[in-house]
Each structure stands twice: as C-alpha cells, then as structure tokens.
Amino acid sequence: MNTFWIILTGCLVAIPCSLLGSYLVLRKMVMIGDAISHAVLPGIILSFMITPSFDSPLVILGAGVMGVLTTFLIEFFSQKGKLPEDASIGVTFTWLFSIGLILSSAFTSKTDIDLDCILFGEILNIPLQLWITESGVNLGPSPVWFLGFVNLIIVSFIILAYKELFITTFDKAFAIAIGISAGLWHYLLMGMVSFVTVASFESVGAVLVISFLVTPASTAYLLTHDLKKMLLLSVLFGIASAVGGYYLSNYLDSSTSAGMVTMGGILFAIVFVISKKLKTA
Amino acid sequence: MVTQVENPILEVHDLTVSYQSKPVLWNVDFSLPSGSLTGIIGPNGAGKSTLIKSIMGLTEKNSGYIKLFDKPLSKVRKKVSYVPQRESVDWNFPTSVFDIVLMGRYGHLGLFKRPKQADKEFALECLRDVGMEEFKDRQISQLSGGQQQRVFLARALAQNADIYFMDEPFVGVDAATEAAIIELLKKMRNQGKTVIVVHHDLQSVKKYFDWVILINMRLIASGPTETTFTKDTLQEAYGGKLTLLSQISDLLSKEDIPTRQG
C-alpha cells in the first residue's frame, strides 16, 4: 500500500509541474521557475512559524506571495534597472533563498522544521501522514488529498485558459494589442508555479522540483510540433519518471525524489537520441 | 509640411516617446484620412516601429494622446488590427498555421471562450485570401519568410478590422510574396479599409502608397504621396547621408522608369 501512495504522490507532483513547465519552456522562463522554487523558502518558513503545518492555507499563501514577489523583483530589476534578465534572476533568488536559510537556522530550534526535508523532500514519509476522520475512518495520507486538489486547480487552469496562455506565450505584443493582458497572465502563471512548488516541496523538495518543471516538458518539446500534444506528452513523461524513478531508487536504495529526477533525465536522453535519429533519417 | 485632415480615422497629437531618457519620437502630430494606404517612411532608428507600437499601446508615452475613430484604443480594439514584425515571435513554437490564423478571432471571443465553427471557417477563408490554404496544417517551423508573413497577414485579416497597422511586412520576403501582399493591401483599401505600413524601401513608396508619413524622430511630413514624398522632405528626413542622398536624387529623377526590383 505504501508503494501505491508514494507513486501516486510522485504522479500528483509530476502532472501539474509538467503542464506549467511546458509553458515555462515555451516562454523561455525556466530559470524564473527555478528562482521561484528557491525563493519560496522564506515564505514557507515565515508561515510555518505562525502555523506549524505544511499543508495549511497560510503556508500556501506565504509561498504564493513570495513567488509573485520574486517574479515582480526580477521584472523590476531587468526593466527599471536595465540589468540583463539572467543577472536579475540570479540576484533575486539567491538573496531570497539565503534569507530563508537565515530564518530557518534562527528559528528551527523553536519549531520542528527540518531544512533537509524542505530542500530535498521526503516522499517516503507521505504514507505516514494519515488523514483519519473523527469517526475513525482512514482516508489515506492527507498530502495526497492536498496534491489532488492542486491538480484539480492546475489542470482546470490549463484547460480553461488554453487560449489566453497560448496567445500570450506565442505573441505577447499581439495579445496586448487585442486587449488580452500579457502581464496578468504572466503573473497568474508564475503564481501557479509558486503554488505547485510549495505543494510539491514536501515530497520532492524545493531544489528538485525544478526538474519536474523542466525535464518532462523539454522531453515532450523534442517530440512534437503541436502544443496540445506537447502538454499531454509532458504529463506522460512526468508520470513515467515518477513511476520509473520509484523503482530505480528502490533498486539502488537511494533517495526517492532523486531517483525520479534521474529517471526523468534518462528519458530525456533517450528521446534526445531518438529525435536526432528521426530528423537525420 | 503636415496635411491635417477632417474627421480623421487616426489622430496622433503631440506624441513624445523616449527610451532610457533618450527621445525616440519628439512631438509627433498628424492625422490620417479613412480609406488610405499609408507608408511610414524614415531612416533606421527613426522611430517608425515605435510610432505604431505607441499607437497600439505597447510603449509608454511621455506625453500626447492618440485617438482612433475619435476614441481611445481601448474602446475600439475590435476595429483595429496589428501585425508585429515577423522576427518578434518564435517560429519554432509548436503550433500549426491554422492555429495562428485562428488567433485573429481571439479578440472577438470572451475570456475562456473557445473559437466556434464560424470563427474557424472565417479563419480558413482568410488563409485562402493570402494563398496559403493548402498550408493550413503545416507546422509554422517549416515556413519560409514569405509564408510566415502571409500567415501573419491572414491572422490580421481574421480580425476583420477597419484599420490595420503593419510593422515592416516586406522585410525578408520573396518578390512574389511582396507583390501578393501589396495587391491584397490595395484590395483592402478599395474595400474602404485603412492600412498603415512601416516601410523602408524608398524605391517602392510611390508605387505602393497614396499617403506618406516621413519621420526621423520628429515628424518631417505627412500628406498625400504626390505632394509629400519630395526631394526636399526626403533630404530633411535622411539628413547628411550623402551617398543615400545621391541615390535619392537619382531615384527621383528616374521616378517614372520602372525599377529593377519591381
């Protein structure tokens, strides 16, 4: 049963990450995703100090605010300060991340935050956090329910806002000209990325979540020239990395999240070689 | 020399735009008559693209205002079409020709609403108008420069607007496409649409446009091509670029002889 819950958790992390990651790849904003996944740390720690639970609305709100703030600061430095965007990203997220580290070392004595767990996740603990109702019914691990809810939100967002995300990603100027606010959709997308990051860090960690955002989407990008197919394929590759990675890490007796990320990399390498072969053939 | 018109379809009033505190457009003030095919002409860096970007609300203005159909842009977006420079988008984006053209209908759809069958049929018709119907399922990464421009034009047609702004539609396209595009633009003008084109090839100005706006940061001249596109105004717009000036006088003296590019 534990195996089932762990693999399900992995898939529930992989699905929304792959979907949002596809748009990050196409917008050439993968590094902003990386920045957000690090910069939510101070938000998580601060909220955790107030309510010591990882799936409380406050933690999500704290991380969401940090994510949008990160996006805003990156834009602000690169547009108002005329700093190259990559430099702006580097300055912003390392700074916010280090504030998170200071906060955590200053306050972890007072709370039960495990920094390792925040950075690298511990998916094996998920099946232990059972949600048992007052009448004593076991509903399974609560993080799975929470991730399920996140999936519902992200999948509906991607389906409902397909037109808006497509046009603002492909041709920002044209979108603005016909009255679709490119800025609003940019911040909405980045807000969703923060939301998914914070929902995922407990199982895969704030550092490795970037791999779930970028690798399945990049693998899918190599294989198709159709946005809808790319979104579907990225989800398939995400799920394949989660499932394959679990067994890989079991076999190697290593960290589960690292196994999933490694599996994603292996799939990418295989697809890369095949797609090169297909193009030259 | 600026010819102001009555009941203009476009009115640009005292427009100043700067980038990093350097002015790009300075006190530009002109108006355009409805139903004209207008060329915005000027040397590189004269602010031609900036001018139409400001009209489309894509660049911040320092001062001045812009009115279309005597209203601000936000009130008349559905009647206004914009064709950005071809290089401004990623042509490796995973999508098909038809999906790009369908984008032209998005301005007519509400938030979260999908294009209907009628939108799809109209988009297909627009693709036919630019001679690209058989390319509808083609991936955009497989198109030539000329075909990319035709797709952008079809997307603009799908907007079914009354006024069209096009940023350098003739750059990097083959002669056949250029001829096809200008033919289409003239047809649109004859149907009563207003078309404004950023253009930098002086050779073809007289052949293509019936109205000309000459700029070089400041507005040099605006009016009917016959009276506005003259040696004096060109000299003013292109300044001390001597080699170019000799080419211009050369061009003007031979203006009735068809050029090789034609």
Predicted confidence at residue B242, as pLDDT, reads: 44
Establish if A143 belongs to a structural domain: yes
Domain of A38?
Answer: 10-206
The region of weakest confidence among A40-44, A108-112, B221-225 is A108-112
Query: Range with the lowest mean pLDDT among A106-115, A131-140, B129-138?
Result: A106-115
Kindly list the distances between the CA atom of residue A14 and the CA atoms of A203, A210, A245, B176, in Å, as whole numbers in the listed order: 11, 11, 12, 49
Set out the domains of chain B in order of their start, with CATH numbers. Answer: 10-89+162-253 (3.40.50.300)
Task: Look at chain A and count its residues.
Answer: 281
> A85 falls in which pLDDT band (50, 70, 90)?
confident
| A243 C-beta neighbours (distance < 10 Å), count | 17
Mean pLDDT confidence for B116-127:
95
Q: Record the tokens describing residue A159, joined without a space.
A: 């389906």
Instruction: Give the pair of three-digit tokens for residue B247.
Output: 């080419």
Least confident of A158-167, A205-214, B88-97, B199-208: A205-214
pLDDT at position B261: 47
Give the pLDDT score at B179.
93
C-alpha span between B174 and B181 (Å, rounded) = 11
Reported confidence tier of residue B106, pLDDT bands at 50, 70, 90: very high
Q: Is residue A34 part of a domain?
A: yes
ipTM for the assembly: 0.89
- Checking if the pLDDT of A268 tops 90, the result is yes
Distance from CA of B137 to the nearest CA of A (A): 10
A257 found inside a domain: no
- Please list, in sequence order, all residues whose beta carbon lies within 8 angstroms of the beta carbon of residue A68, skipping any fewer than 6 positions away: A187, A190, A191, A194
- Alpha-carbon span B87 to B145, nearest angstrom: 10
pLDDT band per the 50, 70, 90 thresholds, residue A82 = confident
SS (H, E, C) B179-210: HHHHHHHHHHHHCCCEEEEECCCHHHHHHHCC
Please count the structural domains in chain A: 1
Grouping H, G, I as helix, E, B as strand and the rest as coil, residue A159 is helix
Residue A242 falls inside a structural domain: no
What pLDDT was estimated at residue B182?
94
Choose from A170, A178, A185, A225 for mutation: most chain B CBs within 10 A: A178
Contacts of A2-6 spanning 24+ positions with Cβ under 8 A: A2/A127, A3/A246, A5/A126, A5/A127, A5/A140, A5/A141, A5/A144, A6/A123, A6/A124, A6/A126, A6/A127, A6/A246, A6/A256
A164:B112 CB<8 A:
yes
List the single residue in B with minimal CA-CA distance to A160. Answer: B112
Question: CB-based contacts of A238: which residues, under 8 Å, 6+ apart?
Answer: A11, A14, A15, A17, A18, A212, A216, A264
Please indicate, yes or no, if residue A218 is contained in any of the structural domains: no
Share of residues in chain A with pLDDT > 90 (%): 52
Residue A50 is which amino acid? I
For residue A269, the model assigns a pLDDT of 97
- B74 to chain A, any CB pair closer than 8 A? The answer is yes
B20 in reach of chain A (CB within 8 A): yes
Tokens of A125: 């603990």
Q: Is residue A51 pLDDT above 80, yes or no?
A: no
Residue A275 lies in a domain: no
C-alpha span between A74 and A126 (Å, rounded)? 34
A178 contact B CB<8A: yes
Quick one: average pLDDT of A74-79?
89
What integer is the mean pLDDT of A223-252? 95
The dihedral of CA B195, B196, B198, B199: what is its sign? positive
Structure confidence at residue B240 (pLDDT): 63
Is residue A261 domain-resident?
A: no
Contacts of residue A35, defined as CB under 8 A and 6 or more positions apart, other chains included, come to: A70, A74, A89, A92, A93
Cα–Cα distance measured from residue B56 to residue B74, given in angstroms and rounded to the nearest whole number: 9
pLDDT tens digit sequence for B219-257: 999 999 999 998 888 888 887 664 555 566 566 655 555
Q: How far is CA A122 from each of CA A116, A143, B102, rounded to the nearest angstrom?
A: 9, 12, 46
The average confidence (pLDDT) of chain B is 90
- Per-residue pLDDT, averaged over B58-64, amounts to 93
Does residue A239 lie in a domain region?
no
